[in-house]
Structure 1
Amino acid sequence: MALYGKQIDGLIDTGATISVLSSKMYLRLPESKRPDLSGKCGQLRVADGKVITPMGMAMFPLEISGKVMRCRMLVADIEIPAVIGYAFMRHNNCVMDVGRGTVEFNGETAKSYLESQRATSVFKLSLDENVVKPASSEMMIPTRIVGDIPVGHEAIINDGSSKLAKIGVLVGKSIFEPTSKVIPVPVANVTGSPQTLYKKTIAAECLVVRACHLKDIDESTDEEDEYLCRMEERPVGDESFPEHMEIIVESSKQHLVDAETKQLKKILKTNEKVFAKNKDDLGKTNLVYHKIDTGNAKPVKQAP
């Protein structure tokens, strides 16, 4: 679906009464397009039981398969870009076809994916057929994705199979589209004898790459040009302010005067390394070591 011409991912959640827009997505909208938020919206309990306070509520024009539908949404600090709740689904005659992977709103059909596909970021490739690798040779071998096909623009081979490495067959890194039925993988036999690779043998571990495509400058609208001009006129200090901390300022400034807001931004900027950009940006250290005694339990993620 799209919001003001920008494509976003949305989770259809029949367990959620109201729809929710990520505060990060809201703050990325040009100021001229951001609807004013109503502050009277209570609190929001998310799936893990945590209670969060939304920034507010407003009506947003969601575009689904080319048709614009108005959706009342809370704006809150959630992990995913948007959640489509039951109220919007019922009002717009939502019909889901899990078998075909489609969802319909007021007769307009759009492609949908299982959450397990969307959540998959690490997956494996297995050989699609038996292959005999000549000695000291390089070639492409056909593989297929093991399990659900992950959703993403592109994926990259992150690690070759340790099983193949033991027989002297190395897997090269490459980028590919996860939606391809057969995925060619570069491999090299570095031994002096032929090696037989068998069908369904795991060839590599891969990672989904969430690619972003920049809009061509010639396609920008007058409102976007105006917004970019305002961005260029900002003081240098504002341009360098971290985007992931804008939500702290936005949720706090209603209780502050202008001078206090500037002081808050200065403090946040000075200590920006303390704030994680996302859940994967928590950092690491080698100053403290932690040991977990697993006894005789075998690894469940990957065999040694």
Structure 2
Amino acid sequence: MTIPPMTSTMMPVKIPGVNHLTEYGFIEGTTGTAKSTLTIPGIINTQYQAHFVNVVNYGDNEVKLYKKETIGTCESYTEHHLNPEQIRTLQNDCFTASEEIPEHLTDLLQRSSTYLIEDQRQQLSRLLSQYQNVFSRTDDDMERTELVTHRINTGNAIPFRQRSKRMPLEIRWKNQSQPDVGQRNH
């Protein structure tokens, strides 16, 4: 996952051995990484299937975090007067699927998640954000790609674009009514 400079993002994480923790866990970022990221400490419900952590990139360059890279630790957390609603509210306020995906895909997410449960909706939003470059942002970039780049050597001449010539309707109809030369019986 790539984090742009001077931004924070809620990213999904896997916690190994989560079944050995109590109902709540305390997330804390690790120190000593060369990357300019900071994992915001917080309390999570370990009983949920999906876990999300707030990661901040405070540097001037984008940072790429790879799968299975350690970004923090999670320890069991118990408190006698812990209010579960506060934790759920914190998680719901920090992460919504529509915030994670780009603006041009929010309509697609809403239309696609009509009959999905919340876990399926979060999985769909993760897929949409992971493959966001596949979808066109506007009508102008439909059927276009940035994968192929090429240059045509024009020497000192200035390159220009020329529209393709369209055949007038009259000539097109004549050509359609006449059979091809290869199909004629001789």
TM-score of the superposition, structure 1-length normalised?
A: 0.17
Greater strand fraction, Structure 1 or Structure 2: 1
Greater helix fraction, Structure 1 or Structure 2: 2
TM-score of the superposition, structure 2-length normalised?
A: 0.27
